[in-house]
Amino acid sequence: MGLGDNAFFWLNSWSSTAGMLTRREVDEAERRTGIPAAGGALPLLGHLPQVFKLGVDDFEKKWLRKKKSKLLLSWFGNSPMITVTDPEVLKHVLVKEFSNFHDRPRRMNPDINRYSENLADKMEKLAKSKEKVEIKRLYEGFTLDTISATAFGLDVDCINNPDGPFIKNMRSIFEKGIGVWRRIFFTLGNIFPTFIPVVRYFKMDYFDKDHLDFFIRHCQAMIEDRKTRVSQRKDFLQLMVDAELEDKSTTDPEVCNVPNKRLTNDEVVAQVFMLYLAGHETTANTLTFVSYELALNQEVQDRVIQEIQDQIGEVIHRLYREIQETVTIGNYTFPKGWTVVVSVFSIHRDPEYWPDPERFDPGRFENPKSTQNKFFYIPFGQGPRICLGMRLALLELKVSLVHVLKRVRLVPCEETQMSLKPVTHKGTLISVERPIQLGLQLRQNEH
């Protein structure tokens, strides 16, 4: 994951102080924590210039290697960060000492199954017409359809309407990101609090206002619809509506301290919007990269389809924790008020845990050595605060791929890149320079 992946976190967590970071402070932090610091920290900015240039993952990779360490100190502005890639330390951060490191339904299955079939139908039609496919566009439609149906009870049919306003606005949010100038202004506002009024004066939103307004209107319409009719669905939206604050006129600043406080309308809208953001692009990206690897590794694809036939038959870049109390783990000290970064990207690419980590090798997960430590592989985190959307995301991935691979074979085409270099310094998630294009072949022609 790159700079964009973590923009949500950075813009809310950089220090509001404007003190000068000095070499002495860096040395003192190294002595106090027992953790080596990345070089080149600048007053006020810390390591931000390096992060902007390299992307956060390459920045961490560079300095972890240079320092020959599994932990690293760095500063984003004046905020100290501790990056952790040691599985033994992670056991304490995510499980044993989790209370000192704060973060942050089955009836959905038919919806996922239905939209997986829609996806397979669409891909089968494309295979018959022998069209080359920008594969991510298909998966974007599928994930939006699935989230809309399972969480909100909506049928938006983005798979068959790839240029509709719903998917176009969502796609624009991720493709445009926050923009260079917005990023600079928000960064300055967080490092220099006196700059915040300037950001407000220019009415700079984190996302493009037109796209943001579209989704706010959309979310508000869904909420109002649920309020005006009785719904038997027990989905995410209904839980949010049921938890909405009854007294909408309250402006009491102490309301947050009331034990039985309920959600305000704005809070419900924000939760709905964030679920779309969190559940859409992540799953679409995963499906895209899986499809790419299967297309370039036909023997693996054959094994997958064989397993589908044998076992199923007919188808029925980062975690953050704020340290609440000073904690000592082994030889390391984690000071209160600092932030721990769990570098999932680095752990998943560490040759100590994963030999030849860039090679696509699903068989490595069958090796007991690779699975003996559950902290070697943590795409959804680990411990009591593991990602709440894990089961939904995995279900989407597996069911959709089963439907697709029973109907079509993924193959490379002339436009397919034979190697991919992840881009981690722009956008909101890991991406690639050029869209991934693949060919599709009907499986029925193989028999």
Residue 423 per-residue DSSP state: B
Edge-first strand listing for the sheet containing 101-102: 71-76, 79-84, 339-342, 319-323, 101-102
Token duo for residue 337: 């008020």
Q: Which of 299, 308, 290 is nearest to 394 (CA)?
A: 290
Token duo for residue 297: 């590794």
Number of helices and strands (H, E) in the chain?
17, 10
Q: Are the CB atoms for 117 and 401 separated by under 8 Å?
A: no
Sort residue 397 into left (φ over 0), alpha (ψ -120 to 50) or beta. alpha
| 387 marked ligand binding residue | yes
E strands, 327-407, in order: 327-329, 332-334, 339-342
Question: What residues have CB less than 8 Å from 284, skipping those under 6 apart?
Answer: 136, 139, 140, 142, 143
Rounded to whole angstroms, the Cα distance separating 246 from 56 reads: 43
Amino acid letter for position 249? S
Rounded to whole angstroms, the Cα distance separating 439 from 427 reads: 26
**Cα(first)–Cα(last) distance of the chain, in Å?**
41
Residues of each annotated binding site: 387
Residues of each annotated binding site for heme: 387
